[in-house]
Amino acid sequence: MTKLVTILGGSGFVGRYVARRMARAGWRVRVATRRPNERMYVRTYGDVGQVEPILCNIRDDASVSAAIAGADAVVNCAGILLESGKNSFDAVQVEGAARVARFAALHGVPQLVHISAIGADANSDSDYARSKAEGEAAVLEHFPSAVILRPSIMFGTEDQFFNRFAGMVRFAPVLPIAGADSRFQPVYVDDTAQAAAKAAMGQVEAGVYELGGPDIETFRELMQRMLDEIRRKRVIVNLPGFVARIIARLLGAAQFLTAGLFTNSTLTLDQIKNLGRDNVVSEGAKGFAELGITPTPMELILPDYLWRFRPTGQYTAINESAASLRSQE
């Protein structure tokens, strides 16, 4: 009998890659999402009827229970970077994580995989990092044999990291950033999905795994890599802490005064706290090596989707080749 996996947040950035991998492995896939009618594209990840989006709100007991019932594995990819309305860090990443683990245990699901993040820390002054740690604790309380994956910042075609900054520099002469000297270990989203899929299929021992790519670079170095890739020269400006906080407060005030019509997705006070810390795999932590996965370097993936931000887009390579030939004449 074909096995069934439920993926909470399965239409999101990492969730859709997990769904695609599970479908390729022959599993039936339930993609649990708040707006299934807008996520019909997930059906194309498998054969007809193999991948199905279903209605689920991670804040609601009944819908989470219904989404998990009958599943052979559950992967919780639900998480937020910014709070919006009722979707607070605590509601989604603590209470929501606990709810998923509780119903997975009640329904006797054999495998539970929870996507967290490097930097999860119950004592952090960042609500994002604190809620991630508290969510992990809640998961293990209800489902001690869960596999918890902590990826560093993820990159890929639909990412909100390189795409976001590459879009900014098309119209700005400078690139302002906060935390320029903080180190990151970017991980390809499909490598994280591969880890989640292996865990869902029972091929991974229970425990916490920190996932980082083969390259460790500062925020400034990552931005310079992005600029080199899109063939643009910009001045990278590291914002002093007090300036970054002033900007974040002004943007936050604009969101409050417009009653949410303007959403501050640019810079928040909580993000500033996280940007001030390194985001790399901890010494001695289990990771890709223990999972039998070789992480993918950035240079193999970034050109596949950042080319659209180049001045001449898809014609850049042709123009560069032509220029090289002329120089040799």
Is the residue at 196 inside a domain?
yes
Is the residue at 59 inside a domain?
yes
Is the residue at 137 inside a domain?
yes
Q: Coil, helix or strand for 156? A: coil
**pLDDT band at 112, cuts 50/70/90?**
very high
Longest dimension (CA), the chain: 74
Is the residue at 258 inside a domain?
no
Is 324's pLDDT higher than 90?
Answer: no
For the chain, the domain total comes to 1
Each as own residue / partner, the long-range contacts of residues 309-318 (CB below 8 Å, 24 or more positions apart, any chain) are 309/166, 309/167, 309/169, 309/170, 309/230, 309/232, 310/230, 310/231, 310/232, 311/231, 311/232, 316/231
Is 328's pLDDT higher than 80?
Answer: no
**pLDDT band at 329, cuts 50/70/90?**
low
Is the residue at 61 inside a domain?
yes
Mean pLDDT over 49-71 rounds to 97
Give me the amino acid identity at 146.
A
- CA-closest candidate to residue 117, choices 266, 13, 221: 13
| CATH code, domain with 287 | 3.40.50.720
Q: Are 286 and 207 in contact (CB under 8 A)?
A: yes
pLDDT at 280: 98
Q: Are 69 and 61 in contact (CB under 8 A)?
A: no
Determine how many CB atoms are found less than 10 A away from the CB of residue 217. Answer: 17
Q: Are 294 and 212 in contact (CB under 8 A)?
A: no
- CA-closest candidate to residue 291, choices 196, 153, 216: 196
Give tens-digit pLDDT for 200-254. 999 999 999 999 999 999 999 999 999 999 999 999 999 999 999 999 999 999 9
The pLDDT mean for the chain works out to 94
Give tens-digit pLDDT for 16-43. 999 999 999 999 999 999 999 999 999 9
- Joined together, the tokens standing for residue 104 give 């997975």
Q: Are 208 and 199 in contact (CB under 8 A)?
A: no
pLDDT at 277: 94
pLDDT at 316: 78
Give me the amino acid identity at 305.
Y
Mean pLDDT over 5-24 rounds to 97
Is the residue at 128 inside a domain?
yes
Residue range(s) defining the domain that contains residue 10:
4-155+185-214+279-295
pLDDT at 291: 97
Is 323's pLDDT higher than 90?
Answer: no
Torsion over CA: 287, 90, 177, 180 (sign): negative
Is the residue at 164 inside a domain?
no
Mean pLDDT over 257-276 rounds to 89
- CA-closest candidate to residue 187, choices 25, 309, 13: 13
pLDDT at 165: 96
Give me the amino acid identity at 143.
F
- Joined together, the tokens standing for residue 36 give 């299934």
- CA-closest candidate to residue 219, choices 237, 231, 195: 237
Residues 54 and 40: their CA atoms lie apart, in Å, by 10
Residues 97 and 145: their CA atoms lie apart, in Å, by 15
Identify the residue whose tokens are 């936050």: 252
Residue 269 buriedness (CB in 10 A; 0-12 / 13-18 / 19+) = middle
Give tens-digit pLDDT for 151-166. 999 999 999 999 999 9
Identify the residue whose tokens are 């309380």: 141
Is the residue at 148 inside a domain?
yes
- CA-closest candidate to residue 5, choices 323, 283, 24: 24
